[in-house]
Amino acid sequence: MGRPATVTINLDALRHNYRIAQQLSSMNNAGVMAVVKADAYSHGATACATALADIASGFAVACIEEALELRVAGIKQPILLLEGFFEPDELDKIDQYRLDTVIHHQYQLDALAAHPLDHPVRVWLKMDSGMGRVGFAPEEYRQSWERLNSLPWVRDIILMSHFACADEADNQHAQQQLATFNAHTSNLPGQRSLCNSAAVVALPQARSDWNRPGLLLYGVSPFGQAHDIEQMIQPVMELSSAIISIKTIPAGGSVGYGSQWTAQRPTRIGVVAIGYADGYPRHAVNGTPVLINGRRAPLIGRVSMDMLTVDLTDLPHVQIGDRAILWGADLPITEVAQKANTIPYQLLCNLNRVPVHYQGALMTDRADLEQVLV
Binding site for ligand PLP (CB under 6 A): 35, 37, 82, 162, 196-197, 212-216, 222
Min dist CB 197 to ligand PLP, Å, is: 3
- The answer to whether residues 274 and 241 touch, using CB atoms and an 8 Å cutoff, is yes
Min dist CB 348 to ligand PLP, Å, is: 10
Cα gap 109→125, rounded to integer Å: 10
Using the minimum distance from each CB to ligand PLP, give the nearer residue, 171 or 309: 171
Using the minimum distance from each CB to ligand PLP, give the nearer residue, 35 or 48: 35
Q: Which residues contact 367 (CB under 8 A, 6 or more apart)?
A: none
Cα gap 177→170, rounded to integer Å: 13
Using the minimum distance from each CB to ligand PLP, give the nearer residue, 218 or 261: 218
Using the minimum distance from each CB to ligand PLP, give the nearer residue, 199 or 297: 199
Question: From its phi and psi, is residue 41 left (phi > 0), alpha (psi between -120 and 50) or beta?
Answer: left
CB neighbours of residue 76 within 10 Å? 12
Min dist CB 60 to ligand PLP, Å, is: 7
User: Catalytic site residue 257?
Assistant: yes
Min dist CB 170 to ligand PLP, Å, is: 18
Point out the residue whose Cβ comes nearest to ligand PLP.
214
- The answer to whether residues 318 and 292 touch, using CB atoms and an 8 Å cutoff, is yes
DSSP readout, 225-265? S--GGGGT----EEEEEEEEEEEEE-TT-EESGGG-EE-SS
Catalytic residue among 18, 37, 41, 276: 37
Catalytic residue among 76, 107, 247, 257: 257
Q: Which residues contact 294 (CB under 8 A, 6 or more apart)?
A: 330
For the four alpha carbons of 319, 321, 324 and 329, in that order, the dihedral sign comes to negative
Using the minimum distance from each CB to ligand PLP, give the nearer residue, 55 or 131: 131
User: Catalytic site residue 218?
Assistant: no
Q: How many CA atoms lie within 13 A of 85 on its CB side?
A: 21
Min dist CB 216 to ligand PLP, Å, is: 6
Please name the amino acid found at residue 72: V
Please list the active-site residues: 37, 257
